[in-house]
Structure 1
C-alpha cells in the first residue's frame, strides 16, 4: 500500500515519526505553520534535529511540542565541523583548475590561495589533505524538549520558507467580464513539505524580531508547477474550497494533500466568483482651485464579486490584450472593487473657473465667493466612454448648484458620456465660505 504523504524534516526525525500519518500545513501570506505526525516521547525527553539551513527560516520562539507537558525546551546550535580544518592546506577544484591554498574561515568558506588572493568557495570544491567531513558529520540545530512524562506528541513550528498569495485574472469583452483566482504557494527553503493544507488570507501579524532572514539559494531554475484553471481534470484534482471566516481571516482548504519541494512554487486553481455591475469608465480627479487647469483622465474598471476576495495582484485583459496589472485590495462578498489602470491620454480635459460673486461683511472682509467651474472633455478614443468628474472642495460651508452640502471636504461628482472622437462638457456652480 502506498504510504500517505509525510512532512520531511530530517532523517533523524523521520525515524521517530510513523510514515503512514500526514502532517498539517497552515499557510499564511508571509509564513507557514507546520504540525508534524505524532512523535513517540519516551524517557522524559525528545530531541528534534533541524538542518542549519532549515532552522534559519524558523520563526524564533515558535517551536512547540503539543500533547505532553513540557518542563524545559533547549535549543543547541549546530557546530560547523569545518572549523577543525581552519588553517589546513586545501585545494580548490573549480573549472578544471587545481588551486593550492589554506582554509582561512570555515563559516564564510573563505580560502587564501598560495598566491595571496582570497576566494569564497563551495564545500564540494574543497579537497583536503586529511579526511574531510562528510554530510553525515554536519551538525544540526537540536531542539530538546524535557517532558513530564511519556506519550504521543506533535511538533509545531512556524517557518517563513512557506507562504501563499492569490493571483487574479480579469478577462473583459464587451459588457461581460470573467474573474479567475489562482493560489500561488511558495517554498523558499531547502526542505520539502507535504501534508493536508489550509490557506489563510488576512492580516496576520507577528512581533518583529531582529533576526536576519536567509537569502534563498539559487540552484538551477525555480521550479513552478501551474495547474490551469481551464483544465477541468486538474481543477478537480487540486480544488481549493472556501471554508469561511475565522477570527477575521478567510480560510480555504486544498481538497488533496500538498507536496512541495525545495525552492518550488505551485499555482493552483482557486476561486471563480460571479461578477455583477462590471463597467469601464474614465475618471478625472481634481482639488478645487480658482486657477484654470488641464490634464488627462485615468482608466478605471469596476465590478462586484459574489465571494470574498483576499488581496493580491490582478492582471486585466481586454479581448485577450494585456491592459494592466494592478493590486486588488481585500474585499468582502458584495463589495465594489474599483481598479485604477493608469492614465488615458485619449481623454483629456480643460478646466476653467469664473468668479461669479464675492460676499463681504461691513468691514470689507470676504465671507464667501461663488464660482462657475467648467470642464471641456475631448476624446480621441475609438468608442464612446463614460467619464466621471470628481472635484474635492474644502470650506466651512459649501453650496453646489444651490444645494447646501455636508462634510468637509465635499466631493462634487458628475458623470457624462463622451462620444467617440467627440467632446462633452460638465459645469457646476460653487459657493464656498471659509477654507
Structure 2
C-alpha cells in the first residue's frame, strides 16, 4: 500500500511551516497533498519530546485508525549493508541483519550474533543522536483527499519585551516593544506564514513534552530567496485573544531568538512616590517606593518592562495583559531620598473599640517636587477623621511634596469591634 510520509528528512535544509505562536507554545500546521493509502507522520526524538501529547491531528479525510510507533529509522536503512565491528585493535566487516537488537552476520563464518552500538563503525557519518530514531504515527483514512497536519509544540514560543524610557518630563515617556520569538530545537525552520497570539490560552500541562515540526518526504523545496525583513501587523481581537500577523516569511534558526519590532504604542505616564501598607497600631518609619502609572492607546500583551529614567536603568517589572487605556501601576524599589515617619498615639482602647491618632510626616530630600500617594488598608467598622481620604480598601493621602521639604498629615481611626 502506498504511503505518504510526513516526517523529518535527515538533511540540513530548513523546513517550511505555518506557525501560530503563543507565549508558551505554538500551533504548527502544514498542508498535505492527496495520496492513496496511509498518511505517515514522523518526528525525530528531539521534536517528539517537545510535542504536547494528544494534539497531533490529520484534518481533511475521516481518520479510521491511528497507530503510534517508535522506529529506528537510520539503522533500519543500513539493514543488509556492511558495517564494521571493532574487536580490540581489529576492525572487520559484518552485515547488519536486524537494527532493532543490533544483530549482525559475520560473512567469514556465516554466523549471527548481537553487538553493542559502541562497537560499530559506519562507512558514512552517522546522524545526530536525536535523528537516529523517529516517533511515527500511521493514519488510516477513508479516502485520498488533501489534508492538513496540525499539532501543538513547546519548541517555539514568543514573549513581548518592552523598554520604557522616561525623560525629565513625564510627557516625554516612550515605550518601545519587541516580540522575542524562540526556537529551542537544533533545526532551522523556514516560517512561510505565521502570527503571534496574545491573551490567556491554557493547554493541558500534565506530561507536557516540548514541540516538533514535520515535512513531506515526497516534496522537494528549493532554497528560499532572501526574504524582506518581516514586520508585525496591528492586533485583531477575537474570542478574548489578540492575533498579530507577521507580514513576510522569515527564518527561525536553530536554538535562537528572533526579535522583531512589535506595536507602536502611544503612552501617558505619571511618576510618583508612594507605599501601600496595612494598618499597624505601632509607630514606624521607612522609605517610599518609586512608582509609575502607565496607560497605552493599544493592548499591551503580558511581558517584561525595562525602565530607564532620565537615561539610568531603574529596574524591571512584569505586566499582565493590559487593555488599551487601562491603567497599570507598578513600583521599582525604594527611593532613598523620600521617607515617611508614622507616629501612632493610642487615645483609647477597650474590648469593644480602639481609637488611634496617627501623624504622618513625609520628607523629600530631592531638588524637585514629587507627587506622593500614601495608602493604608484596613477592614471592619472603622471611622476616619482628619487629613486623609476614605477609600474602599482603607485610606489614602495624595499630595505634592515640595523639593527639599516636608509634609505632615494627621488623622484619627476608630475601630468598633461590636
TM exceeds 0.5? yes
* Gap regions ≥5 residues in structure 2: 1-5, 80-84, 90-98, 101-116, 212-227
Q: Does the 8 A contact of 1:399 with 1:432 survive in 2? A: no
Q: After superposition, where does 1:230-269 map in structure 2 within 5 Å?
A: 237-269=229-261
Q: Does the 8 A contact of 2:10 with 2:127 survive in 1? A: no
- Three-state SS of the structure 1 residue aligned to 2:146 is strand
Displacement of 1:12 after TM fit? 8.0
41, 47, 60: which is aligned to 1:67? 60
Deviations 1:332-381 (A, max 9, x none): 111001111111121111101123455xxxxxx64333322111122222
- Three-state SS of the structure 2 residue aligned to 1:238 is coil
User: Structure 2: how far apart are the matches of 1:191 and 1:238?
Assistant: 20
- In structure 2, what is the equivalent of residue 339 of structure 1? 330
Q: Does the 8 A contact of 2:51 with 2:208 survive in 1? A: no
Displacement of 1:198 after TM fit? 0.8
Q: Does the 8 A contact of 1:39 with 1:155 survive in 2? A: no
- In structure 2, what is the equivalent of residue 393 of structure 1? 378
- Three-state SS of the structure 1 residue aligned to 2:233 is strand
Displacement of 1:9 after TM fit? 5.6
Deviations 1:374-430 (A, max 9, x none): 1112222232211111111232243343999685xx420011222233222122222
Structure 2 CA distance for partners of 1:177 and 1:211, relative to 1, 3 Å = closer
- In structure 1, what is the equivalent of residue 196 of structure 2? 199
Structure 2 CA distance for partners of 1:262 and 1:402, relative to 1, 3 Å = closer
343, 346, 359: which is aligned to 1:355? 346
User: Structure 2: how far apart are the matches of 1:91 and 1:204?
Assistant: 57
User: Structure 2: how far apart are the matches of 1:307 and 1:132?
Assistant: 56
- In structure 2, what is the equivalent of residue 322 of structure 1? 313
250, 268, 293: which is aligned to 2:284? 293
151, 156, 162: which is aligned to 2:150? 156
Which segments of structure 1 move beyond 4 Å, counting only runs of 4 or more? 80-84, 88-92, 129-133, 211-214, 402-407
- In structure 1, what is the equivalent of residue 353 of structure 2? 368
Q: Does the 8 A contact of 1:390 with 1:414 survive in 2? A: yes
Q: Does the 8 A contact of 1:238 with 1:269 survive in 2? A: no
- Three-state SS of the structure 2 residue aligned to 1:348 is strand
Q: Verify: 1:52 aligned to 2:45, yes or no.
A: yes
TM-score normalised over the length of structure 2: 0.77
- In structure 2, what is the equivalent of residue 429 of structure 1? 412
- Three-state SS of the structure 1 residue aligned to 2:264 is coil
How well do the aligned residues superpose, as a CA RMSD in angstroms? 3.3
User: Structure 1: how far apart are the matches of 2:27 and 2:88?
Assistant: 43
User: Structure 2: how far apart are the matches of 1:91 and 1:183?
Assistant: 55
Q: What is the number of equivalent residue pairs in this alignment? A: 358
- Three-state SS of the structure 1 residue aligned to 2:46 is helix
350, 358, 367: which is aligned to 1:382? 367
User: Structure 2: how far apart are the matches of 1:191 and 1:323?
Assistant: 38
- In structure 2, what is the equivalent of residue 10 of structure 1? 8
User: Structure 2: how far apart are the matches of 1:315 and 1:404?
Assistant: 33
- In structure 1, what is the equivalent of residue 110 of structure 2? none
65, 69, 72: which is aligned to 1:79? 72
Higher-RCO chain (CA-CA 8 Å, sequence separation at least 6):
2
- In structure 1, what is the equivalent of residue 207 of structure 2? 210
Deviations 1:244-264 (A, max 9, x none): 222111111111123212111
User: Structure 2: how far apart are the matches of 1:91 and 1:327?
Assistant: 59
* Gap regions ≥5 residues in structure 1: 1-7, 93-105, 108-122, 215-235, 359-364
Deviations 1:4-27 (A, max 9, x none): xxxx9623899xxxx9xx642100
- In structure 1, what is the equivalent of residue 181 of structure 2? 185
Q: Does the 8 A contact of 2:44 with 2:135 survive in 1? A: yes
Deviations 1:124-143 (A, max 9, x none): xx774676883399332211
Displacement of 1:433 after TM fit? 1.1
Q: Does the 8 A contact of 2:52 with 2:209 survive in 1? A: no
Deviations 1:118-176 (A, max 9, x none): xxxxx9xx774676883399332211110001111111111100000100011111222
- Three-state SS of the structure 2 residue aligned to 1:37 is strand
TM-score normalised over the length of structure 1: 0.74
408, 416, 420: which is aligned to 2:399? 416
